[in-house]
Amino acid sequence: MSMMKQLQRNAVIEQLKKLGIHSIDGQPLSEVLYTTLLKTLALKRAAQDCKGR
């Protein structure tokens, strides 16, 4: 994995952790597919946006 992709992945993991998500389907975030991390982050942000309105 390239350095840039690893940095992007780490940034997404950090954002999820700040939102209180530390695992997905029982797997640590470090073992979850990147696309699943992105989808989970998008869903969490969308849910927060709906609450804020």
Largest CA distance in the chain: 39
Q: What is the pLDDT of residue 13?
A: 98
Q: What are 15-37's pLDDT values in tens digits?
A: 999 999 999 999 999 999 999 99
User: What is the pTM assigned to this prediction?
Assistant: 0.87
Instruction: Give CA–CA dist 45/41, Å, rounded.
Output: 6
Strand, coil or helix: 27 = strand
